[in-house]
Structures are given as structure tokens and as C-alpha cells.
Structure 1
Amino acid sequence: MIDLFTVFTNKKTVVIINNEHKFNIGRGDSMVQMLKDDIADKIYCSAIDEFYERGYKSTPIRDIAKGAGVSVGLIYTYYENKEALFEAVVKPTYLLIKSILSTINNTGNPPFENFVLKKEMQFIVDLLRHKRKQVLILIDKSSGTKYENAKEEIIDLTKVHIQKHLRKRIKNSSIIDDVFYHILANNFLEGVLEIARHYKNEEWANNMVELLSKQYFYGINFLVK
């Protein structure tokens, strides 16, 4: 079973699996990670707010500059273009989600309920608490960028996990079409995203994720009876 522990800090995300430091993901590319001054921080935070409110296509650089209290020209000394700034905002979260799901899919044969009811659910709660806007920007606001298909990629990884564990428990799994597994994965992700969109506080998110997990697990449990 995966022993997953995630540490979120202001400028980076550290993921530790089985007490080993697996990867350390900063806010964006190497240039952004090296920036230590307040201007870079203001640009980054303003970009999150603007992309979250309007999405990539509808956010002009001048509005990000205004929110950061800097000139448009100064932004271009830190980022080549708007796309590079967008990538700095979403890439760490994108890599983190894909890495966690890939690790879960490639780690032994943990019981399916461990994924939907136990430690991995804490990862979702932590992600929503610390990176909620980045998650929603990645999924809902990335049209026109190379991340616009991120949702389908995450669904596909979730689908692999569901297939892997349900097929071992269903007596006649061959009668279930792959589309059904896709529906299960899509519905679960949509549930998580709805929690993110209506986020109130950590306690509320904990309760909602627990309810979603139990409903999801016990709802599909009829398949293995």
C-alpha cells in the first residue's frame, strides 16, 4: 500500500512516497524557481487570480501586470510570453497529479478501497486546500494551451486504476465495456472538481471528500457481489 505524504509550501510542492523524497516541484520552470524577489511573487500571484477569473484566452497580460502593480514590459523580463506564464502557474500541479496517479497505478496490488477511502483521499484534500485555483485553472481555464486536454489525461489515468482493481473482483468483467470505466472515472473527477469549485474550508472539504469517496466506493460495490 502506498504511504503517501505530501508537503505543500508557499513556493514548492514536495511529495514523499514510502518515506522517500520522490520529487520536488516548484512553481514553474527553472527560471521562475530561481526568482527570489517580491516582483516575481506578485506577478505569479496576480496571474493565478486573473487566469482563475477569466481563463487563459480572456486574460490579457496588461491585467496581470495591473494586478501585480508592475509594467507589462517588466513581466516580459521574467516570462517570454503569456503562455510561459500560464505554464508556470499550472505545470507543477499538472505534474503532481499525473505523478501521484501513475505511482498509484504502478504500485503493487493495493485493495481498491485503499484508494477511495484511505490515505490517498488526504492527497485530494491537501491539493484542494493549497492548489485549488491551480487545479481549476488547469481543468476549466486552459483552453487554447497545451494543457487543454489535461482533464482527459487525468480521467484516463483514473480509469486505469479503476479497471485494474475492479476487474480482479468482478466475476465476469469481460461483459463490462471500457466506456463504463471511463464513466466511473469521469464522474469521480467531476465530483472532486465540484468540491473545488464550491470550496468553503478544509473541514468542509474533508467531509465532502469522505462522502464522495464512500458514495463512490459503496455505489460501485454492487458490481462485485
Structure 2
Amino acid sequence: MQYQKDEIRKSIINQAIKEFNTKGYKAASIRSIAKNSGTSVGNIYKYFASKEDLYESLIGAVYHKVMEYINQFKKVELNDKAEDIFYSLLEKIMEIFDENRVELAILLNKSEGSKYENCKVTFVDFITRVVTEVMEYGLTIQGKKLKDNFIIYLLSYSLVESISIILKEKSEEVEVRKLILNLIDIFYNDIINKLEYF
């Protein structure tokens, strides 16, 4: 009997991902998920307490995985080896993109009404802070000081929005990875020479 329960749960999850990806969290319907997974609404509630609980089980795990790696950036001591560590952490984040592209697309594009609806702001703020710290370190070595980080904020905002669009529009893992890495290179390569400082 356990096999049958696992199959039902898997079917609910598969249909929920499709429903959230198509309609977003706010417009998604448990009734529609039940119908498309060949079960009843009551049966879904045996597996998940609510639509929010179902969404959390699908999207929350990916969000927390990304945040776990993002938080590791905070622990990186800024020195000459920091760039290598950043690229290694970036590679781990890219692996999450490879494994959970649809869930990340839902997180970034379809979370309105859920507790993750402001996740883009969290990502933008984090990227802005990390890049600002790295740039300030690089400028300090040159005896200079960053005037402000507004251009870094604009680039970080553009990067997160661009990643959201890539994940929504593209499905091929290799293409997604290449596009994201190219964007990071376009936005941040040699950025230190484009910033205002004194």
C-alpha cells in the first residue's frame, strides 16, 4: 500500500508544479490540482495541510537551498583568494539552477500572494551587498574609496530580473546556465573601473 501512497503524492506534486508554474501561487487551485492528479481535494489534504503547505514543500526547499549558499558568501573573508571562493559558491548555486529550474522559475516569477513574493528583493539586496563589499576591498587596495553603490544596485536588480526571464522563457539546462554566466560576466566583468570613487 505504501507504493500507492507514494504514487499519489508524486502525482499531486507533479500537477501542483504545473499548476503553480501556469497560474502562479495566488491563482492556483487545489481543486484543479486534485482533478489533474486524479485524486480528491480531501485526499490532497491528507498529504498537505493547505495550498501554502503544498507550495512550501515544493518551493521552500529550493529557496532555502539557494539562501544557504548565498549565506556562505557572508562568511567569505575578503582577501586575494575571495574571488576563487565566490566562483566556487557561484558554481554550487548554478547546480541548484540546473536541478531545480522550474521551481526557481516559479519562485522568481509566480510567488505573488505567498511568503516568497519578495524573494527578488532579498536576492537583489544580497548581490548588491556582496558586490559592494568586494569592490570596496579592491578599491581600498588601490587607496581609493567607493563614492556610492547605486550602479551596483542597478546591475544586481537587472541580473535578478534577467535570471527570472531566462528561467521563464528557456528550458534547456545548458542554455540556461550559459545565459546566466554570460550575464554575470557582462554585468560585473571589470566593474571596478566603471564605478565612481574618490
Alignment size in residue pairs: 187
The counterpart of 1:217, out of the listed 179, 188, 191, is 188
Gaps of 5+ in 1: 1-35
Distance 1:51 1:155 in 2: 23
Deviation readout 1:23-42 (Å, 9 max, x if unpaired): xxxxxxxxxxxxx7111111
User: Are 1:163 and 1:181, in contact at CA under 8 Å, matched by a contact in 2?
Assistant: yes
User: Are 2:105 and 2:168, in contact at CA under 8 Å, matched by a contact in 1?
Assistant: yes
Gaps of 5+ in 2: none
Distance 1:166 1:136 in 2: 30
- Aligned partner of 1:85: which letter? L
The counterpart of 2:124, out of the listed 146, 151, 155, is 155
CA RMSD of aligned residues (A): 2.3
The counterpart of 1:89, out of the listed 58, 64, 79, is 58
Distance 2:133 2:164 in 1: 23
Runs ≥4 in structure 1, deviation > 4 angstroms?
none
Listed as ranges, the matches of 1:53-202 within 5 Å are: 53-109=22-78, 110-112=81-83, 115=86, 118-170=87-139, 171-173=144-146, 175-176=147-148, 178-202=149-173
- Aligned-residue identity in percent: 26
What secondary structure does 2:18 align onto?
helix
What secondary structure does 2:27 align onto?
coil
Further displaced range: 124-133 or 105-114? 105-114
User: Are 1:61 and 1:82, in contact at CA under 8 Å, matched by a contact in 2?
Assistant: yes
User: Are 2:98 and 2:177, in contact at CA under 8 Å, matched by a contact in 1?
Assistant: no
Distance 2:184 2:161 in 1: 12
Distance 2:130 2:48 in 1: 37
Bigger helix share: 2
| Higher Rg | 2
Distance 1:121 1:134 in 2: 18
TM-score by length of 1: 0.74
1:100 to partner: Cα distance = 0.7
Distance 2:65 2:48 in 1: 22
TM-score by length of 2: 0.83
What secondary structure does 2:138 align onto?
coil
1:215 to partner: Cα distance = 1.0
1:103 to partner: Cα distance = 0.4
Tell me: CA distance 1:114–1:197, structure 2 relative to 1, closer, same or farther (3 Å): farther
Distance 1:99 1:152 in 2: 17
User: Are 2:108 and 2:120, in contact at CA under 8 Å, matched by a contact in 1?
Assistant: yes
